[in-house]
Amino acid sequence: MNILVTGGTGYIGSHTCVELLNSGHSVIIADNLSNSRIEVISRIKQITGRQIFFYQVDVTDEEAVNSIFSSNRIDGVIHFAGYKSVTESVIKPLEYYFNNIVSTMVLIKLCLNYKVNKFVFSSSATVYGENKVPFVEDMELLPPKNPYGHTKVINEKILTDVAKANPDFSVAILRYFNPIGAHESGLIGESPIGIPNNLMPYITQVAKGKLDKLKIYGNDYPTIDGTGVRDYIHVVDLAKGHVAALEKLKKGVNIYNLGTGKGTSVLQLVHAFEEANHIKIPYEFVARRPGDIAECYADVSRAKRELGWSAERDIIQMCKDAWRFEKNNS
């Protein structure tokens, strides 16, 4: 298949392009480089030995995206492009609603116009709010606590309504848990701009000596050791989940959790990183971060049953690969 990948030079998009190309598909990337670098294109080519097409466009710009649809045969779209910082979304809500929702509407409209019937969307475990773990796809969604989370819920609703009204339009809504790690080549990975918000990039920058010590947000949660528990998934496993979702896509709306099904606490992740890479990570406990929940992990049985997909890489592998990328690239 010829797949249009929006946000394809970003963290998850770049790894997904590699897995698509390795599975024999062709890739057209549309990205405005607002949170990624052009070098990623040559890195993807280097890893796969395959040619790819790149358009530097803003996917909220209908005319620009239309010209991609009119000049390429597209069989499916994977829509990663969007803003993703929870904290920033509280400060810049309009930018978040505009970018994350208009981009989806433009793409759906063009898919319907050009009869492109496969659409895969990047959603997030954040849509479950404070439901009881493990999170199951059929649970009633609880209102998210920030504009970023709302954009995911709204996009899920738009896609669901459009699919209902257009029986040929097939949608996969993929709810990611916490992607970490990097491609084993060390050529692509996560490189946040400024001080990282997320745990693993913060840990790797402490390991590198760029940051002093890790601040652990809260040690009084009702969890195994008092620190927050998350379902960390290797980004390459997550990328392979997209290929499976695309290849096995059924008519209608298909929602899948992409996680490992296992919870790991902040302290457990810190210790795994120390064990995997033989580097001590200094840390201190500070107050809870507003908006954080105690535990978040997936029920992954639907993806296994329907897609034949499950995550294979363990926490040690995630820590080794994240560190290799940090060492090589900054």
For residue 197, state whether it binds ligand UFG (rule: CB under 6 A).
yes
* Binding residue (CB under 6 A) for ligand UFG from 28, 47, 65, 86: 86
Shortest CB 328 distance to ligand UFG, Å: 22
The helix or strand, by DSSP H or E, that contains position 227, with its residue range, turns out to be none
d(CA 87, CA 139): 26
CB-nearer residue toward ligand UFG: 31 or 231? 231
- Give the residues lining the site for ligand NAD (CB under 6 A): 6-7, 9-13, 31-36, 58-60, 80-82, 84, 99, 103, 122, 124, 176, 178-179
DSSP string across 118-140: EEEEEEEGGGGTTPPSSB-TTSP
For residue 131, state whether it binds ligand UFG (rule: CB under 6 A).
no
Q: Give me the residue whose beta carbon is nearest to ligand NAD.
A: 10
CB-nearer residue toward ligand NAD: 55 or 169? 55
With helix as H, strand as E and coil as C, how does 48-109 read?
HCCCCEEECCCCCCHHHHHHHHHHCCCCEEEECCCCCCHHHHHHCHHHHHHHHHHHHHHHHH
* Binding residue (CB under 6 A) for ligand UFG from 92, 109, 215, 302: 215
CB-nearer residue toward ligand UFG: 76 or 149? 149
- Binding at 36: pick from ligand NAD, ligand UFG, none (beta carbon under 5-8 Å per type): ligand NAD
- Binding at 215: pick from ligand UFG, ligand NAD, none (beta carbon under 5-8 Å per type): ligand UFG
d(CA 327, CA 330): 7
Nearest to 177 by CA among 288, 293, 60: 293
Query: Beta strands 264-265 and 229-230: pairing type?
Result: antiparallel
Q: Is residue 268 within 8 Å of residue 232, measured between CB atoms?
A: no
- Binding at 248: pick from ligand UFG, ligand NAD, none (beta carbon under 5-8 Å per type): none
- Binding at 65: pick from ligand NAD, ligand UFG, none (beta carbon under 5-8 Å per type): none
Determine if the peptide bond prior to 134 is cis (ω within 30°): yes
For residue 80, state whether it binds ligand UFG (rule: CB under 6 A).
no
d(CA 214, CA 329): 21
Q: Catalytic amino acids?
A: 148
For residue 114, state whether it binds ligand UFG (rule: CB under 6 A).
no
Which residues neighbour 17 within 8 Å (Cβ) at sequence distance 6 or greater? 5, 8, 27, 29, 44, 52
- Terminal-to-terminal C-alpha distance of the chain: 35
CB-nearer residue toward ligand UFG: 198 or 301? 198
CB-nearer residue toward ligand NAD: 10 or 181? 10
* Binding residue (CB under 6 A) for ligand UFG from 124, 205, 257, 310: 124
Q: Give me the residue whose beta carbon is nearest to ligand UFG.
A: 228
Shortest CB 185 distance to ligand NAD, Å: 18
- Phi, psi of 213, deg, nearest 5: -155, 160
Positions in 241-270 near ligand UFG (CB under 6 A): 266
With CB under 6 A as the contact rule, which of the stretches 98-106, 118-126, 133-141, 318-326 interacts with ligand UFG? Answer: 118-126
